């Protein structure tokens, strides 16, 4: 019963919103209650046995498995913080009822996929999360929100198509819908099997991996602050969870896929830094930072795939990275909503920026944060894996890049605060500080939950200096980069990939509509024109005449006569 309550409690609340007459000011407050059973299960339900429901779908199986408890804990914490902030910040929103219902549906999908143990249950919750998140992206009903929602929906549909194809192949290969059976079965497949390519792309769109990330920088700034927090803090982790389930991380080594994840992850890490430094909106900066951090998680996954012997050490690091990034990024997005339009004067400005700096320093890998724990575990694993000489240089540079992006983020927030006239609301600030405290307290939890990780506060001076110098260097370098206005202006004049695809589509669509093959009334293929053109065309008249002329030639006619005679003789013998 506890599994049903933890997963379907948000769905129950969404149903209550539809059938009951609650006062308008209480609608959004329901969003804060939805993840509480799941949070209690993740914290206290370590020994709860899994649940099997044979009569639901093709048999619903819920349980923690190898990764479920950590993902459920993260997602419940992020949804709780986002729900509380929505209750504080959206009580005057005219569309708060529909927002609350769809917010709870997306919550149900996210919590359900974290504890699903079979493919059908996982995909049902995954698709619920994907398509209800579209309504959160377009909630503000602005032209930019509709554009972001359009790009998100197109990529989501493409991803779902590839995902369901890959899942069906995996079930066929394993002859089972259970993750445990599938992980054993796919270990014997060739790395070139199409299932891996389909699942990489399907989950890669959700994870925002480089090359499949186009929806992410548009959706984050378009969505309301609570939705942005769960998009970056929880939902994009669903793609990583899918990779962990369907790639044989523990069962077999896949050097080709491991090297691919590592290279693509490092490229994404630096691309996110460079793109984030060129943006002005703080939420867009954080969106590109998420692309960079997901690239580092993909690098981690690549190490585990390259050598199965490294997986035992890499997997706790991946789970720690998921917790670290999810809590820090949710705290930063909620911080944007709490402080972006707050009046900053003197000590107030300093305190607000100091609170924002705590999760930012964690992402940069500063000492005494969860970031330095993840950073040093990644560094140790990279030294044992392939490309150790290159990754040993690039990983510290990625920490420097993250420090630069966080410095740029704080600078953009400071500019927003200077032009604002409103005071920072107390209730929003309280929710934000709770999320900051959760992010700051993660190192103390990690020592108990992830035994292989060192405690940052017990490290020596060299350990602390290794985490401190990228942050200090980033603080020193950023003012010099900020002053390079002509360079930034040149980069800003370049169209992004989405704009290039839209221009190309409009150009070819306009040519198609103006061609005679397109029906002017509906834009579809004009079959009548195509048939008439063929019937009355030169080729349609020339071809029969040419065939008749060749048949009248003696060599052709004689050959056909001999063939016909032999066929009739053979038929007579058979009769």
294 part of a folded domain: no
DSSP state of 247: S
Instruction: Look up the pTM and report it.
Output: 0.84
pLDDT of residue 438: 85
Q: Are residues 516 and 545 in the same domain?
A: no
Q: Are residues 167 and 126 in the same domain?
A: yes
Distance of CA 313 to the CA centre of its chain: 24
Q: Last residue of a domain, which of 206, 223, 246?
A: 206
Strand, helix or coil at 525?
Answer: strand
Q: Last residue of a domain, which of 161, 181, 206?
A: 206
Q: Are residues 508 and 557 in the same domain?
A: no
Which position has the token pair 């209550």? 16
Query: By residue range, what is the domain housing residue 101?
Result: 1-206
pLDDT of residue 339: 78
Residues contacting 232, CB < 8 A, separation 6+: 220, 286, 287, 290, 329, 330, 333
pLDDT of residue 265: 93
Which residues lie across from 518 on neighbouring strands? 525
Q: Exposed, middle or buried by CB within 10 Å (0-12, 13-18, 19+), for 375? A: buried
Q: Are residues 550 and 524 in the same domain?
A: no
Q: What is the mean pLDDT of each run of 10 residues along the chain (575 residues)?
A: 88 82 67 89 84 80 87 92 87 81 93 92 94 92 90 92 93 90 88 93 92 89 91 92 90 89 92 88 92 92 88 85 91 85 62 85 86 82 77 84 92 76 71 85 63 52 77 86 56 54 67 64 58 57 66 70 78 67
224 part of a folded domain: no
Task: Count structural domains, the chain.
Answer: 3
> Rounded to whole angstroms, how far apart are CA atoms 213 and 235?
14
Q: Phi/psi at 53 (nearest 5 deg)?
A: -125, 85
pLDDT of residue 422: 62
- To which H or E segment does residue 62 belong? strand 60-62
Q: Are residues 132 and 113 in the same domain?
A: yes
Q: Is the dihedral of CA 88, 89, 95, 99 positive or negative?
A: negative
């Amino acid at each position: 019963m506890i599994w049903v309550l933890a997963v379907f409690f948000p769905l129950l609340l969404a149903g209550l919103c539809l059938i009951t007459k609650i006062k308008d000011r209480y609608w959004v407050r329901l969003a804060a209650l939805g993840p509480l059973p799941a949070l209690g299960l993740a914290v206290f339900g370590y020994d709860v046995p899994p649940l099997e429901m044979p009569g639901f779908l093709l048999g619903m199986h819920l349980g923690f498995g190898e990764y479920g408890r950590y993902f459920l804990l993260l997602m419940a914490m992020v949804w709780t913080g986002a729900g509380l902030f929505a209750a504080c910040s959206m009580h005057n929103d005219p569309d708060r009822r529909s927002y609350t219902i769809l917010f709870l549906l997306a919550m149900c999908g996210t919590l359900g996929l974290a504890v699903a143990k079979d493919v059908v249950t996982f995909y049902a919750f995954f698709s619920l999360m994907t398509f209800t998140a579209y309504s959160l992206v377009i909630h503000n009903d602005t032209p930019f929100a509709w554009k972001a929602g359009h790009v998100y929906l197109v990529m989501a549909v493409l991803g779902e198509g590839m995902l369901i194809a890959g899942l069906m192949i995996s079930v066929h290969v394993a002859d089972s819908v259970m993750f445990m059976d599938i992980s054993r079965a796919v270990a014997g497949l060739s790395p070139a099997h199409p299932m891996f390519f389909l699942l990489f792309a399907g989950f890669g769109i959700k994870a925002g991996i480089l090359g499949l990330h186009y929806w992410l920088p548009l959706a984050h700034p378009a969505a309301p602050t609570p939705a942005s927090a769960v998009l970056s803090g929880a939902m994009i982790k669903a793609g990583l969870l899918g990779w962990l389930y369907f790639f044989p991380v523990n069962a077999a080594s896949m050097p080709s896929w491991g090297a691919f994840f590592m290279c693509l992850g490092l490229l994404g890490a630096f691309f996110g830094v460079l793109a984030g430094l060129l943006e002005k909106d703080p939420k867009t900066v954080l969106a590109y930072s998420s692309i960079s951090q997901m690239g580092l998680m993909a690098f981690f996954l690549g190490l585990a795939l390259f050598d199965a012997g490294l997986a035992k050490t890499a997997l706790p690091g991946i789970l720690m990275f998921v917790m670290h990034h999810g809590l820090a990024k949710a705290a930063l997005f909620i911080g944007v909503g709490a402080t972006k339009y707050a009046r900053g004067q003197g000590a107030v400005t300093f305190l607000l920026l100091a609170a924002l700096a705590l999760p930012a320093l964690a992402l940069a890998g500063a000492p005494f944060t969860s970031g330095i724990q993840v950073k040093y575990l990644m560094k140790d694993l990279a030294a044992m894996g392939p490309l150790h000489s290159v990754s040993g240089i690039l990983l510290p540079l990625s920490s420097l890049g993250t420090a630069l992006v966080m410095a740029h983020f704080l600078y953009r927030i400071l500019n927003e605060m200077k032009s604002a006239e409103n005071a920072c609301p107390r209730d929003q600030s309280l929710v934000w500080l709770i999320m900051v405290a959760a992010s700051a307290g993660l190192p103390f939890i990690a020592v108990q939950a992830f035994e292989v990780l060192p405690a940052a506060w017990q490290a020596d001076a060299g350990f602390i200096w290794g985490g401190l110098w990228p942050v200090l260097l980033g603080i020193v370098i950023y003012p010099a980069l900020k002053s390079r206005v002509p360079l930034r202006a040149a980069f800003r004049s370049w169209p992004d990939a989405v704009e290039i695809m839209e221009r190309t589509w409009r150009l070819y669509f306009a040519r198609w509509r103006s061609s005679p093959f397109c029906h002017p009334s509906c834009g579809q293929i004009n079959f009548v024109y195509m048939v008439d053109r063929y019937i009355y065309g030169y080729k349609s008249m020339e071809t029969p005449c040419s065939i008749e002329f060749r048949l009248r030639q003696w060599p052709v006619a004689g050959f056909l006569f001999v063939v016909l005679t032999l066929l009739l003789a053979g038929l007579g013998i058979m009769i």
